[in-house]
A and B are shown apart, each in its own frame.
Chain A
Amino acid sequence: MTVTAVRKDPETLTMTLDAGFDASPERVWQLWADPRQLERWWGPPTYPATVTAHDLRSGGRVDYHMTGAEGDQPHGYWEILEADAPHRLVFRDGFADADGRPNSDMPINEVRVMITAVGGGQTRMSIESVFPDAAAMEQLLAMGMEEGLTLAVGQIDSILAEDTTASTTGR
């Protein structure tokens, strides 16, 4: 099973995505709750994630970084707002500096995950993700995406901080 529905609202900078799994809610929850499993899906193969702290409780934190082909390591963290295993997880995803300290200048997006049994051994996972502004979304996409894609979105670079790391075009 795979993605079953996607809804995108540019006006509210919100995306809702539903996916179906041939597994129990407990199994799907493990994808989030086990840091070693989380590492295997959060980043693309070209930008694998390493989870260095993982406390999936309300008020807890998850620290991670990603590693690009050039050796660049953008850091990020989750601030857990709600965690109700195996059904509900709400967190803010933000950027951090190299020591893992939250970078408060950087915008953050909020992600709500709902995991529900739908019968027949199937589970639905709904992701709702909201961004405060387009610059936040662009910044997030620039972190751990294939180069070609992020270059295509470069239009609103000017509103972003000077933090644009060197790309690998024109070698």
Chain B
Amino acid sequence: MFGALADATRRDIVRRAMEGQEGVAELAEHYPMSFAAVQKHIAILEQAGMVTKERIGRRKVVRTNLEGLRIARRLLDEYEELWRGRVARMTALVADETKE
């Protein structure tokens, strides 16, 4: 379920769900995989707060949570900074030793 293909599928689901027109069954038709597999990707996205399911009349559509995406983007930027700091300290450690 993980890896590049899963990631690409989830990104695509989030992109399609921005319009909030399609339900799980309709979304599943876009991908060369089982309904159950697509359903699982959507469940993971829902749990992560990236999409929500909304009832429109008798239908249930999947809609992207734009606020969730925006927050995730900002948190990832901070997380990147955290790792850049770590890499800088690692680099300094390795360099120090070479000099000694």
Question: Chain A interface (Cβ within 8 Å of chain B)?
Answer: 1-3, 6, 8-15, 17, 19, 21-23, 27-28, 31, 37, 40-42, 44, 125, 127, 129, 131-134, 137-138, 140-141, 145, 149, 153, 155-156
Chain B residue nearest in CB terms to A40: B93
Residues 31-79 of B at the A interface (beta carbon under 8 Å): 45, 47-50, 68-69, 71-79
Residues from chain A with a CB closer than 8 A to the CB of B29 are none
One of B49, B69, B72, B85 near A44 (C-beta < 8 A): B85
Question: How many residues of B are counted as interface, with CB atoms below 8 angstroms from the partner's CB atoms?
Answer: 38
One of A22, A28, A42, A141 near B79 (C-beta < 8 A): A141
B72→A13 contact, CB < 8 A:
yes
A134→B93 contact, CB < 8 A:
no
Given known A12-B10, A141-B75, contact A41–B93 (CB-CB < 8 A)? yes
A14→B7 contact, CB < 8 A:
yes
Chain B residue nearest in CB terms to A44: B85
Given known A28-B94, A133-B47, A155-B71, contact A10–B76 (CB-CB < 8 A)? yes
One of A11, A17, A23, A138 near B87 (C-beta < 8 A): A17
Minimum CB–CB distance from B20 to chain A (whole Å) comes to 16
18 pairs, A vs B, C-beta closer than 8 Å: A3-B83, A8-B77, A11-B72, A12-B6, A12-B7, A15-B80, A23-B94, A41-B93, A133-B47, A134-B68, A134-B71, A141-B79, A149-B78, A153-B74, A153-B75, A153-B78, A155-B71, A156-B71
Taking A11-B10, A12-B7 as known contacts, 6 extra A-B pairs with beta carbons closer than 8 A to each other, sorted by chain A number, are A1-B91, A12-B11, A17-B80, A41-B86, A133-B47, A138-B75
A134→B90 contact, CB < 8 A:
no
Q: How far, in whole Å, are A14 and B17 apart by their CA atoms in the complex?
A: 20
The majority secondary structure among interface residues of chain B is helix
A2→B80 contact, CB < 8 A:
no
B80→A11 contact, CB < 8 A:
no
Given known A8-B73, A40-B89, contact A137–B48 (CB-CB < 8 A)? no
B73→A10 contact, CB < 8 A:
yes
B76→A2 contact, CB < 8 A:
no
Residues from chain B with a CB closer than 8 A to the CB of A153 are 74-75, 78
Given known A19-B90, A31-B93, A153-B74, contact A6–B69 (CB-CB < 8 A)? no
A15→B76 contact, CB < 8 A:
yes
Task: Specify which of A13, A19, A156 lies most central, judged by the most chain B CB atoms within 10 Å of its CB.
Answer: A13
A21→B91 contact, CB < 8 A:
yes
